């Protein structure tokens, strides 16, 4: 199935990558609600701001789709790099990090687990290289 065949024909991995981003955004929203409930920090302002951020991220994916689609029809633009993969990869990494932050906030005991220690070591390594 091609959602917008007049503009772009997606490869199967592109469709899976776009789907991954959408699923991760839903996971982030749900884990955000859970951690807010656990910590009793519900804030309609914060939720509204978070939902606006999710909509902006979806618009960025749409922009990547449109740019990749149009450049495939324009001809030789000297630019043939697919945009969907890097945009979706970047957003997916952001969403996973946010989900893990929500889980850690809702369940602080997990911060001492081997899984979260891996993420802490990765963050320290990145901070050391700056």
Q: How confident is the model at residue 90 (pLDDT cuts 50, 70, 90)?
A: very high
Q: CA 99, CA 29: separation in Å to the nearest integer?
A: 8
Answer yes or no: is pLDDT of 9 > 70: yes
* HSE-up (13 A, CA, CB side) for residue 107: 9
Q: CA 9, CA 22: separation in Å to the nearest integer?
A: 19
Picking from 108, 80, 103, the residue whose alpha carbon sits closest to that of residue 31 is 103
* Residues 100-116: tens digit of each pLDDT: 899 989 988 887 888 77
The predicted model scores a pTM of 0.80
Residue with tokens 């007049």: 6
């Amino acid at each position: 199935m091609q959602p917008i065949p007049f503009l772009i024909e997606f490869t199967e991995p592109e469709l899976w990558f776009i789907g991954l981003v959408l699923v991760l955004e839903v996971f982030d929203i749900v884990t955000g609600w859970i951690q807010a409930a656990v910590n009793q920090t519900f804030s309609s302002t914060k939720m509204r701001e978070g939902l606006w951020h999710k909509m902006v991220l979806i618009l960025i994916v749409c922009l990547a789709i449109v740019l990749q689609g149009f450049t495939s029809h324009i001809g030789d633009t000297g630019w043939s790099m697919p945009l969907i993969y890097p945009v979706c990869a970047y957003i997916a990494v952001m969403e996973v990090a946010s989900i893990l932050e929500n889980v850690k906030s809702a369940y602080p005991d997990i911060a001492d687990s081997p899984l979260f220690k891996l993420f802490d070591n990765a963050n320290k390594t990145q901070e050391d290289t700056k």
